[in-house]
A = this chain, B = another copy of it.
Amino acid sequence: MTAARTSTTAATADQAAPLHKSRSAERALTLLDAVITQGSIGLSDAAAEVGIPTSTALRHLRALLDSGHLVRDDLGRYSVGPTFLRLALAAFRAGPYARLLAAAQPHLQHLATVTEESVYVAVRDGVNAVYIATVESPRAIRHVGWVGRSVPLDGTAVGAALRAAPLAPGRRPELNVNTGAIESDVTALTVPLYDGDGVIGALSILGPADRLAGKRLDRAGAALIEAAELIAGAMTAPVEAAR
């Protein structure tokens, strides 16, 4: 990578990454990402998306193909394969998020019922937040479909919650409210979810701005804070009874 050995005096710039990672692995992962987020995509589009020559993309896609991470549909196009699906499911049964989701699940259901709005759990992904679970509002007009969606931390209620400092003893989780950060007629209420060390996720209520106002807004906020405290309790409490 850009050897650019500086023969004279001081180094030209602080070499950001002297550490070598695997280029092909990176590309294969990016390709996988492109295919999955597009749902179904042809070779040349995939190559263009990732910015590599088609011949190289082809080789990687083939590797992903015969490992079963991808499959080719009726003709030509690539899409998710069974191996990846297996992994995707495993990701929810093990790992740190499994505990979070298990701890949160019952409270999500309850929150959605009492507030009559859709409830989400989000986690941080660099400078973005990703919604990873939901229970939808029972109302006909409701917020739906944000699971898997990624939104910026900057300027959003989730962002503020995910960036919150660890909870000082005796304090309650702080509520963040925001209207129109992503879509103009959506109001978001969000609180951080703590696990003893610090923030590990966020709990959100999302709904139409004209309904989530006044007294309903206050009640939703209170219910949200209470739920966050219960979830934090479930996370810090050692043994897991339910699964």
Is A59 at the interface (CB under 8 A from chain B)? yes
Determine how close the nearest CB of chain B comes to the CB of A62; give it in whole angstroms: 6
**Inter-chain contact B63/A21, CB cutoff 8 Å:** yes
Among A36-82, those with CB < 8 Å from B are 36-40, 59-60, 62-64, 66-69, 71, 73-74, 79-82
Do A90 and B148 touch (CB < 8 A)?
Answer: yes
A121-129, A184-192, A212-220 - interface stretch: A121-129
Quick one: CB contact mask for A71-114 with B, threshold 8 Å, 1 for yes? Answer: 10110000111111111111111111110000000000000000
Q: Are B19 and A125 in contact (CB under 8 A)?
A: no
Task: Tell me whether A32 is interfacial, beta carbon within 8 Å.
Answer: yes
Residues of chain A at interface, number, CB under 8 A = 62
Residues of B within 8 A of A60 (CB): 21-22, 25
C-alpha gap A37/B88 in the complex (Å): 10
The answer to the question of A165 belonging to the interface, with a C-beta cut-off of 8 Å to chain B, is: no
The verdict on A236 contacting chain B, using a C-beta distance below 8 Å, is no
Copies in the complex: 2
- Contact code string A7-38 (vs B, CB < 8 Å = 1, else 0): 00000000000011111111111001100111
A92's nearest neighbour on chain B, judged by CB, is: B88
**Residue pair A132, B63 in contact (C-beta under 8 Å):** no
Q: How far is the CA of A148 from the CA of B88 in the complex (A)?
A: 8
B89-A148 in contact (CB<8A): yes
**Is B87 in contact with A39, judged by CB distance below 8 angstroms?**
no
Partner of A40, one of B87, B95, B125, B148: B95
Contact with A86, one of B87, B92, B130, B197 (Cβ below 8 angstroms): B130
Residues of B within 8 A of A22 (CB): 24-25, 28, 59-60, 63
| Interface positions of A (Cβ within 8 A of B) | 19-29, 32-33, 36-40, 59-60, 62-64, 66-69, 71, 73-74, 79-98, 123-126, 130, 132, 145, 147-148, 150, 197, 243
